[in-house]
Amino acid sequence: MFEHDASLERVFSFSRLDVNSPLSTVSHHRFELEGQQWPTAEHYYQSKKFVKSVDLQEIADAASGEEAYKLGNRWWKFGKAKDWKQKRRVMMTRALYTKVQVHETVKQALLDTGDERIVETSLYDPYWGIGRDQRGENMMGQIWMDIRAKIRAKGKVYPSS
């Protein structure tokens, strides 16, 4: 059937929905983007899915990143931006890159991953995470690794060996 991917045993792994992880989208790291304050990266990302201002505002006002996630996934077919699948990686990258620029603790947590592969451990989301069969796209991990490379190139910061 499927072989176990042994390379996933030596990675930095985290959950997108772990409020205690600085690399999570629901951690409490406020930032400003597009002229608005966002409590979490998840608030920004989920609000960008929709075109109606009432939906956008409800998500922006959510009490937590977890609540923003739930609200953003509640109306799957109603009021969603038509080209969302093409824009979702860009929107998440904007949110996470801005978060890193504003919060030194997040930047340091990212740089502390060294050269390790970063993996989002969701078993149920094969786009953002690795998925149940470990063959997911791991887009969240890829975005973080891209941001890490950009920070290093910009500041000439390399992991210590």
- What is the per-residue pLDDT across 111-120, written as a single tens digit (0 to 9) for each? 999 999 999 9
Helices (H), 75-133: 84-102, 104-111
- What is the per-residue pLDDT across 133-160, written as a single tens digit (0 to 9) for each? 888 999 999 999 999 999 999 876 555 5
Answer whether residue 85 is part of any domain: yes
Could you give the number of structural domains in the chain?
1
Whether the pLDDT of residue 82 is over 50: the answer is: yes
Answer whether residue 123 is part of any domain: yes
Span 120-141, average pLDDT: 91
CATH assignment of the domain containing 146: 1.10.357.40
> E-assigned strands of the chain?
11-14, 31-33, 36-38, 117-120
Answer whether residue 4 is part of any domain: no
Answer whether residue 6 is part of any domain: no
* Domain enclosing residue 41, as ranges: 11-155
Q: Is the pTM of this model over 0.85?
A: yes
Task: Identify the pLDDT of residue 161.
Answer: 46
Residue 37: partners with Cβ closer than 8 Å, 6 or more residues away = 30, 31
Q: Pick 157 or 77 by higher pLDDT.
A: 77
